[in-house]
A and B are shown apart, each in its own frame.
Chain A
Amino acid sequence: EPEVTQTPSHQVTQMGQEVILRCVPISNHLYFYWYRQILGQKVEFLVSFYNNEISEKSEIFDDQFSVERPDGSNFTLKIRSTKLEDSAMYFCASKSGKETQYFGPGTRLLVL
């Protein structure tokens, strides 16, 4: 069964550094999403992406964040200058049309 994959599974970085989290959505999906889950808290929506542009973003998704679909398979989340409070599990999701969003296994980001 096709699934969403994410790399790396874990990332440790220093405050102020740039990180890029990578996702490979399911191949025929058209809608892409990033969510995050701070330890012990609920899952929060960050951004949705469709037709090569952001369709919706939350107030969390400020100028430090950006998303890109550099080729036909990858969907990336970039944090330009990480802060301590960016430490979280980041989930990528994708879907096709009206179908359910399928989530990847997540990338655990730790900012020191």
Chain B
Amino acid sequence: AQSVTQLGSHVSVSEGALVLLRCNYSSSVPPYLFWYVQYPNQGLQLLLKYTTGATLVKGINGFEAEFKKSETSFHLTKPSAHMSDAAEYFCAVRYSSASKIIFGSGTRLSIRP
């Protein structure tokens, strides 16, 4: 079955530290890959996406993610965390242009002052 695994339901980093949120997908066919962010009591906002081409994609708010086919991974990183980055982050996949999005279980990012 197609699935998305996010390692760590909760990640806490210090302000200014590196942010690394892990995501792995299960598929023999590379999917479209997404990271969404959800701030408290708000909807889902697209951070970045990978469809084809360059495997390192840059998104909003200084986030980036690298698609590694050999590792079936799409980890999200940010060099320096900011207090405003505290939110829930969802990795997601889609296997065709019209199909549903399959979400991971989410990782809650906390930022320590």
A contact set with B: CB distance below 8 Å: 31, 33, 35, 41-45, 48, 50, 55-56, 58, 91, 93, 97-98, 100-106
Which residues of A sit under 8 angstroms from B97, Cβ to Cβ?
Answer: 97-98
Q: Which of B22-63 contact A (CB under 8 A)?
A: 34, 36, 42-46, 49, 51
Structural contact, B49 and A42, CB atoms closer than 8 A: no
Shortest distance from the beta carbon of A51 to any chain B beta carbon, whole Å: 11
Q: Mark B61-85, 1 if CB is under 8 A from A, else 0.
A: 0000000000000000000000000
- A selection of 27 A-B contacts at a CB cut-off of 8 Å is A31-B98, A33-B101, A35-B101, A35-B103, A41-B105, A42-B90, A42-B103, A43-B44, A43-B90, A43-B103, A44-B103, A48-B98, A48-B100, A50-B98, A56-B99, A58-B100, A91-B43, A91-B44, A93-B101, A98-B51, A100-B34, A100-B49, A101-B101, A102-B46, A103-B36, A103-B43, A106-B43
Question: Which 5 residue pairs are nearest across A and B when measured between Cβ atoms?
Answer: A105-B43, A45-B100, A98-B97, A103-B44, A43-B103
Which residues of A sit under 8 angstroms from B45, Cβ to Cβ?
Answer: 103
Give the most central of B42, B44, B49, B97: most A CB within 10 Å: B44
Residue of A nearest to B100 (CB): A45
Residue of A nearest to B41 (CB): A108
Shortest distance from the beta carbon of B90 to any chain A beta carbon, whole Å: 6
Which residues of A sit under 8 angstroms from B105, Cβ to Cβ?
Answer: 41-42
Residue of A nearest to B43 (CB): A105
Structural contact, A33 and B103, CB atoms closer than 8 A: no
Which residues of A sit under 8 angstroms from B102, Cβ to Cβ?
Answer: 45
Shortest distance from the beta carbon of A105 to any chain B beta carbon, whole Å: 4
Which residues of B sit under 8 angstroms from A58, Cβ to Cβ?
Answer: 100
In the complex, A11 Cα to B5 Cα: how many Å?
32
